[in-house]
Amino acid sequence: MNGRHAMPHAAFVLEPEAAVGDMLSQIDTPALLLDLDAFEANIERMATLAGKHGIALRPHAKAHKSVAIARAQLDAGAAGICCQKLSEAYPFAAAGITDILISNEFVGEKKVAMAVDLARRVKLTVCVDSSLQVHALGLAARAANVAMDVLVEIDAGQRRCGVRSEVALLDLLDCIGKYSDVLCFSGVQAFNGTAQHIEAWTERREAALRSAETVARYLRCLKTYGFDCPVVTGGGTGTAEFDVETGVYSEIQPGSYVFNDGHYGRLEWQGNNAPAHSLFVVSTVMSAAAPDQIVTDVGLKGIAVDSGLPIVISQSGTSANLMVRRVNDEHCVIESGPDALPVLDTRVLLVPSHCDPTVNLYRRFIGCRGGVVECLWDIEASGLSR
Amino acid sequence: MNGRHAMPHAAFVLEPEAAVGDMLSQIDTPALLLDLDAFEANIERMATLAGKHGIALRPHAKAHKSVAIARAQLDAGAAGICCQKLSEAYPFAAAGITDILISNEFVGEKKVAMAVDLARRVKLTVCVDSSLQVHALGLAARAANVAMDVLVEIDAGQRRCGVRSEVALLDLLDCIGKYSDVLCFSGVQAFNGTAQHIEAWTERREAALRSAETVARYLRCLKTYGFDCPVVTGGGTGTAEFDVETGVYSEIQPGSYVFNDGHYGRLEWQGNNAPAHSLFVVSTVMSAAAPDQIVTDVGLKGIAVDSGLPIVISQSGTSANLMVRRVNDEHCVIESGPDALPVLDTRVLLVPSHCDPTVNLYRRFIGCRGGVVECLWDIEASGLSR
């Protein structure tokens, strides 16, 4: 053999996982598959729910991190988008999306500079729960001669961020008032993440109503002291159907509804409010050396397991006889029930239990319809967590 | 206010998290911090261990995914590197690293094409545990007129990939022999991941010795049937000190040793074999609205929790009074013991429990020495999991 380095060769570039027109079996794995029929139905279902109640829909881009999906949401009537991090907002702003809420607190000189930078380009709304933030933002906005809208986050029951009393809210409003030339108080951010994943429908509904009561208490306080509060934003995929009926929210901000991950899929739903699974990780059987298991080529770097192990899906739906036993860094070990195990090089579809951290592991969605690749959508904000 | 969109502004580009010369408090977070003193000591310690026993060190690049770190390992005497995925090997090959072992099985037309592509550029070694793989690789290598070395993976006790019997090994050797013009059988891959994280030192040692006995059994079989087996590669961070003394391995392939994550930190070690923590996630207190907790700005998209919650480190070492209670998508909730909680905008250092999936979430290491940023190292293979 004399050819080890003898052949001429083209540029040393990785091809994308798939090309438009590819069949499922041609996709290089692991890859992130978006079932476009289910995705579009999810987009439509949530837009209809919000529209029917006259409530704005501001979908959360932290779930998908993709300009193409944000555009699909805006085309379906969304009022704007949420981002959870300032850096995450950059690709959306660069792509011309003009109304962005950073639904989360941030502090420090570099973060404030990013907010000012964004506020030059888009209608930016930010969240605060501390006067230190307000002072830093106000001074920087003045120095740069830019304006931004400000929401005060209130703790709606999650016990994470947000003010915990009416006094704290009013103190913050005083502080914001000192920068009224550049900071415009526009309302409250009131998301309760804990309520989203309560399994039983009635208990989830009760938690959503309790959050709404908390929000209403703060709103009464604002009214008493003469503050306008045009924006009351909150709610998520698990509680949206209840949130829209409470009368307290001006807009809802669900994110996962476009995908419906395994964790949301385990909840009890009523009527047609359950979103459909649209997000799958495609993996390939890479080893079948043992008689009682297969190993596919996706691990912790391609699928998040913080909310449980992935579910194996066969062509005809959930495959109860194929169970994921463990996920290592680069391997997914699947054990078999009575069914025969798929052979080497078979594609195995997995429903990730948690969409947000799974999507963040990839650079593009492979959009499929009827088993054929229809589009590749960049995940521009992948890895942007600052 | 008339300036919302009135100001001229520079290009809309995200700055890196830090610049050379920055102090810890100037790093934008979340960021991945590499303590260079600890890192260099870890590199040196493992190189010395292997060198003392005359065994080759082929560090695993799946842990760091960074050309700069691979170069530091090669400069310290490493024989080459391991990658776990073909796509992961691309940036290393492009950077001129010439000896790469893909320590894992792969199947399918696109994967085989990538292997052939790599084999044109570097001394490529691949792993197989199925004749289907061998036929596909052999035919493609012939068509492209390239050669590669082939290891047969044997199951050394992990029950994941690899042949499980001497018969299966010999059958594969027959198959490889049919492509002897392009495929060169060079030995066995024998990694036991399960043994790496056994907490008790003596039990971990026993597991390593059992793996070595299994390997020795296969080696006797190869000798009996007249096969040369120059390469016997395996071992990892948790068992390296035992692996080098067994006499069966020609090389070891540890990866995590450069970082020593929280999971490895919880093991029992003897002598000076424990690597030092060199990898930290820097986060910032972004909300302190509650009296009994703080929230820092890193979540599941910035730190892996599959092997446990992160550990909070204070300037003087582990801070037992600050405990991570939960990690959400973008938040880390830390509760306090008797110590006063850090105030807003304080930097909080976390030791990730699992280095590999944590590193994969970032695009660069912030190399620090004595609290000052000394270098930024790209993580070129971040997200390359195919």
* Interchain CB distance below 8 Å, A287 and B90: no
Nearest chain B residue (CA) to A184: B1
Domain A24-33+275-378 belongs in CATH node 1.10.10.10: no
Q: What share of chain A is helix, strand, coil (3-state, %, to 5)?
A: 30, 25, 45
Nearest to A147 among B3, B106, B163 (CB): B3
Nearest chain B residue (CA) to A193: B328
Q: What SS3 class is residue B285?
A: strand
Q: How confident is the model at residue A315 (pLDDT cuts 50, 70, 90)?
A: low
What integer pLDDT is reported at residue A13 of this predicted model?
Answer: 83
DSSP conformation letters of B219-258: HHHHHHTT----EEEE--TTTHHHHTTSS--SEE---GGG
Distance CA B139, CA B149 (A): 14
What integer pLDDT is reported at residue B98 of this predicted model?
Answer: 96
Distance of CA A120 to the CA centre of its chain: 25
Query: Tokens 């499929």 map to which residue?
Result: A368
Residue ranges of chain A that CATH labels 2.40.37.20: 24-33+275-378
Distance CA A338, CA A341 (A): 9
| Beta pairing, strands B31-35 & B364-369 | parallel
Within 8 A of A181 by CB-CB distance, chain B residues are 1
Cα A125–Cα A128–Cα A131 angle in degrees, nearest 5: 130
* Interchain CB distance below 8 Å, B354 and A300: yes
Q: How confident is the model at residue A86 (pLDDT cuts 50, 70, 90)?
A: very high
- State yes or no: pLDDT of B162 exceeds 90: yes
Within 8 A of A144 by CB-CB distance, chain B residues are 7
What integer pLDDT is reported at residue B4 of this predicted model?
Answer: 43
Distance of CA A86 to the CA centre of its chain: 15
B77 touches B52 (CB < 8 A): no
Q: What is the mean pLDDT of residues A3-25?
A: 74
Which residues have a Cβ under 8 Å from the Cβ of A102 and sit 6 or more positions away?
A82, A83, A84, A85, A86, A89, A115, A118, A124, A125, A126, A127
Torsion of CA B137, B139, B144, B145, to 10 degrees: 100
Residue ranges of chain A that CATH labels 3.20.20.10: 37-259
- State yes or no: pLDDT of A375 exceeds 80: yes
Question: Helix A67-75 and helix A36-52: axis angle, to 10°?
Answer: 40
What integer pLDDT is reported at residue B282 of this predicted model?
Answer: 97
Rounded to two decimals, what is the model's pTM? 0.95
Task: Enter the tokens of residue A228.
Answer: 């306008």
Q: pLDDT for B4-42, tens place per residue? A: 444 444 557 899 999 999 999 999 999 999 999 999 999
Distance of CA A39 to the CA centre of its chain: 14
DSSP A355: H
Share of chain A above pLDDT 90, in %: 90
Chain A: closest CA distance from residue B93 (Å): 9
Q: pLDDT for B232-260, tens place per residue? A: 999 999 999 999 999 999 999 999 999 99
Query: Tokens 């005083």 map to which residue?
Result: A174
What integer pLDDT is reported at residue A5 of this predicted model?
Answer: 45
Q: pLDDT for B95-105, tens place per residue? A: 999 999 999 99
- State yes or no: pLDDT of B339 exceeds 80: no
- State yes or no: pLDDT of A17 exceeds 70: yes
Distance CA B282, CA B302 (A): 10
What integer pLDDT is reported at residue B5 of this predicted model?
Answer: 45
Nearest to A306 among B123, B297, B305 (CB): B305
Q: pLDDT for B110-121, tens place per residue? A: 999 999 999 999
Q: What is the mean pLDDT of residues B280-293?
A: 94
Distance CA A255, CA A236 (A): 7
Span of A248-252, A321-325, B189-193 with lowest mean pLDDT: A321-325
Q: What is the mean pLDDT of residues A41-62?
A: 98
Task: Enter the tokens of residue B155.
Answer: 């199951």
Rg (CA), chain A: 23
Q: pLDDT for A322-367, tens place per residue? A: 899 999 999 999 997 666 778 899 999 999 999 999 999 999 999 9
Distance CA A183, CA A295 (A): 55
B interface test, pick of A329, A333, A360 with most B CB neighbours within 10 Å: A329
What integer pLDDT is reported at residue A299 of this predicted model?
Answer: 98
Task: Enter the tokens of residue A256.
Answer: 């996962």
Q: What is the mean pLDDT of residues A50-56?
A: 97
Which residues have a Cβ under 8 Å from the Cβ of B280 and sit 6 or more positions away?
B32, B33, B34, B35, B313, B349, B350, B351, B352
Q: How confident is the model at residue B2 (pLDDT cuts 50, 70, 90)?
A: very low
From the list B354, B305, B284, the residue with the least C-alpha distance to A85 is: B284
What integer pLDDT is reported at residue A214 of this predicted model?
Answer: 98
- State yes or no: pLDDT of A302 exceeds 90: yes
Q: pLDDT for B196-231, tens place per residue? A: 999 999 999 999 999 999 999 999 999 999 999 999
The ipTM, to two decimals, is: 0.95
Within 8 A of B354 by CB-CB distance, chain A residues are 300
Distance CA B147, CA A5 (A): 9
Q: pLDDT for A252-273, tens place per residue? A: 999 999 999 999 999 999 988 8
Q: What SS3 class is residue A347?
A: strand
* Interchain CB distance below 8 Å, B28 and A301: no
What integer pLDDT is reported at residue A341 of this predicted model?
Answer: 76
Nearest chain A residue (CA) to B136: A345
Nearest chain B residue (CA) to A356: B329
Considering the domain delimited by B37-258, tell me its CATH architecture: Alpha-Beta Barrel (3.20)
Q: What SS3 class is residue B61?
A: coil
Q: How far is CA A39 from CA A76, B30, B32, in A?
A: 12, 31, 34
* Interchain CB distance below 8 Å, A329 and B6: no
Q: What is the mean pLDDT of residues B145-153?
A: 98
* Interchain CB distance below 8 Å, A361 and B383: yes
A195 touches A207 (CB < 8 A): yes
Q: How far is CA B222 from CA B153, B186, B215, in A?
A: 14, 12, 11
Task: Enter the tokens of residue B96.
Answer: 């001129």
Distance CA B284, CA B143 (A): 55
Torsion of CA B76, B77, B78, B80, to 10 degrees: 120
Q: How far is CA A309 from CA A263, A275, B16, B306, in A?
A: 10, 20, 34, 11
Domain A37-259 belongs in CATH node 2.30.180.10: no
Within 8 A of A155 by CB-CB distance, chain B residues are 289-290
* Interchain CB distance below 8 Å, A287 and B356: no
B129 touches B161 (CB < 8 A): yes
- State yes or no: pLDDT of A294 exceeds 90: yes
Distance CA A328, CA B15 (A): 33
Q: pLDDT for B114-142, tens place per residue? A: 999 999 999 999 999 999 999 999 999 99
Q: What SS3 class is residue B378?
A: strand
- State yes or no: pLDDT of A291 exceeds 90: no
* Interchain CB distance below 8 Å, B160 and A331: yes
Q: What is the mean pLDDT of residues B347-356?
A: 97
Q: How far is CA B272 from CA A163, A324, A337, B202, in A?
A: 49, 38, 46, 16
Which residues have a Cβ under 8 Å from the Cβ of A108 and sit 6 or more positions away?
B28, B29, B284, B345
Query: How many Cβ pairs within 8 Å bridge chains A and B?
Result: 237
Within 8 A of A62 by CB-CB distance, chain B residues are 329-330
What integer pLDDT is reported at residue B315 of this predicted model?
Answer: 54
Task: Enter the tokens of residue A235.
Answer: 């709610």
Question: What mean pLDDT, rounded, does chain A reach?
Answer: 94
Q: What is the mean pLDDT of residues B85-106?
A: 97
Nearest to B182 among A1, A111, A114 (CB): A1
Q: What SS3 class is residue B205?
A: helix
| Beta pairing, strands A364-369 & B332-336 | unpaired
